[in-house]
Amino acid sequence: MKKKKLQLRELKGKQSSVISASEKKFKTYLPAIFSFVMLIVGIAIDYFDAFPSFQGWVRIVWYTVAYIPVGFPVIKEGWESIKNGDFFTEFFLMSIATLGAFAIGEYPEGVAVMLFYAVGELFQNAAVNRAKGNIKALLDARPDEALVYKNGDFVSVNPETVEIGEKIQVRVGEKIPLDGVLLSEKASLNTAAITGESKPYTITKDEKVFAGSINLDGVIKVETTKEFKDSSIARILEMVQNATARKSKTELFIRKFARIYTPIVVFLAMGLTLLPYFFVDEYVFRDWLYRALIFLVISCPCALVISIPLGYFGGLGAASRNGILFKGASFLDAMTKVNTVVMDKTGTVTKGVFKIKKVVTKNNFAPALSAVEGEVEFMQYLMAMEEQSTHPIAKAILEYKAEGADFKASEVYEVAGKGLKGIVNHKEVLVGNKALMTSNNVDVPPETDVIVESIVIVAIDGKFAGYVTIADELKEDAYHTIQQIREAGIAKIIMLSGDKDSITQQVAKELNIDWAKGGLLPEDKLNEVEKLKTQPDTTVAFMGDGINDAPVLAASDVGIAMGGLGSDVAIETADVIIQTDQPSRMARGIQIGRSTRRIVWQNIGLAFGVKGIFLVLGAIGLATMWEAVFADVGVSFVAILNAIRLQKMNWK
């Protein structure tokens, strides 16, 4: 009953917030609606001459009342800018143009210019808010409460008050409030808020869980490992919100251009008004002032200063929806210039998890058993020994499923740098590398010398019994990644790895990578990338796991971190974070960057092209204030609609 009341209260709260938002939206549009109605009625009265008394002061007052709701905020903004030392702004241009139109008796045109400018601003704000909302909706998955175990019960508290090491409960459908480790046996989670992937993600006890994930099945318990402010979702959200502060070179150029361009336009308009007096026989001040006002309206840089940032907003939002986080618009631009991709191996194109690739037993190891049974018994000897080891390769071997007798090892000790020695089933067993076999006078077949993968050799009672090869698995999209990167026009793909060179070369050959080098320390990778950057016309993107590759991520032109889901180093160091842990998303990031840049330059070309034509027409008297409105507000509308396309695009 209590739960139902709580749900009902939440529902009412949501309904009231929706109504409040609708009322606020209506109030925002009310001034423009009022001015529009007044303008249309005024024009209709003028056209049909319905009221003879609609002349003189009556007409002036009518259009002034129509002008104030949309004009006063712009004039006020222009005045505030002037007080702050920013004299030549778009608000200043609109104010001069419309007040000038009133001064020469062109009242409907003055109202129309300001009305359509105001509508353009409303449309721009709606589009920007939508673009920001797309980013925030994907990432702002911060829960409102955390159920913390205190005094024998789970108590609801603010997540920001939860300390490291506390136990929390997460019910079905709720968001995990903080990063931690799973205490329950298993959990099914929706990690879309972090990775962009909506498919369920199943984890087991002691595995990491991340704030913002949604619990899909059963009540689970989690032990927190980070404070709320340090959780992955909080830091990623902060990063994306701050991304808009990192402007692209194009945005910065347009802003600087507008600061120079606007005063030039004002002085040209003054010249267009006054200079003809010295060159034209029948000079009429009102006519040339009207042309200058048209010139001012057309030349307003609204389309540029609105649509370009909106284009980058759209690009950042589209990337976020695809599980790719850019730390700023500048990196969207940088991705379009990349022509050399350098990638790590382990954790980037491979899963970073060792698996048994092949089991080979000597023909006479167990002659009384079939081949399958012989392999099982061989693995039981090996697994009994590896149970005493903590090496990563031992973990891979112990995942082998063997049915039959459960052998136990005794008297096991480690031979440093070589392997293990012990007793299994009353037999002496050696497990390790060839050096261990040689030191114990065990003859090993020469075929083992040419094996590239990591190899574990087994000898029983002083005789070679067989070996297993261990290899890291390629990610499912590894081949697709290289293919897509090449299709994106990348000229050179290089692999640098800390793994041994023979394995690195094999993976590079398998994936058709141009050049590879293994056995590298982090500083060696850094040196290789810096060498590449010294080559002319080379823009380098490095893609790594974001943990031991921090120096290279920082030094490359574009640093791309894989698996940023739980890596603090990735979030801090990389320029781009691929949250889904899929390297193929890099190619999609390039596509999104190029689409963004293409739309931005389309808008720049559109704005300059249309405005240039109408500026000439206005200066020679062939364009009226109505055409000026189209050239300014119309181009802004078209540019905004073009920028919004990014939010609807799909990339494959």
- Short-list 314, 375, 358, 398, CA closest to 593: 314
The SS3 assignment for 623 reads coil
Give the strand pairing for 340-343 and 146-150.
unpaired
H/E run at residue 371: helix 371-386
* Chain-centre distance for alpha carbon 548: 22
Angstrom distance (rounded) from CA 590 to CA 557: 14
Beta strands in 475-521 (DSSP E): 492-496, 515-517
Side by side, the strands of the sheet bearing 153-157 are: 153-157, 146-150, 167-170, 220-224, 180-182, 208-209
Q: Which residues contact 292 (CB under 8 A, 6 or more apart)?
A: 100, 269, 270, 272, 273
Q: Which of 179, 344, 545, 575 is catalytic?
A: 344
- Short-list 147, 60, 619, CA closest to 627: 619
CB 243 within 8 A of CB 327: yes
What are the structure tokens assigned to 232, written together? 């992955």
Angstrom distance (rounded) from CA 641 to CA 123: 10
User: What separation in angstroms does the CA of 281 have from each of 278, 284, 377, 450, 471?
Assistant: 8, 9, 111, 97, 90
Angstrom distance (rounded) from CA 257 to CA 229: 39
CB 352 within 8 A of CB 548: no
Whether 406 is a known active-site residue: answer no
The burial class, CB within 10 Å (0-12 / 13-18 / 19+), for 467 is: buried
Helices 107-139 and 635-644 cross at an angle (nearest 10°) of: 10
What are the structure tokens assigned to 543, written together? 């893609």
The 10 Å Cβ neighbour count of residue 501 is 14
Q: Which residues contact 378 (CB under 8 A, 6 or more apart)?
A: 359, 361, 365, 366, 458, 465, 466
- Short-list 366, 412, 324, CA closest to 592: 324
- Short-list 273, 275, 276, CA closest to 291: 273
Angstrom distance (rounded) from CA 183 to CA 185: 7
User: What separation in angstroms does the CA of 499 have from each of 357, 392, 451, 452, 492?
Assistant: 17, 14, 15, 12, 21
What are the structure tokens assigned to 437, written together? 């076999």
Give the strand pairing for 340-343 and 540-544.
parallel
Which residues are catalytically annotated? Answer: 344
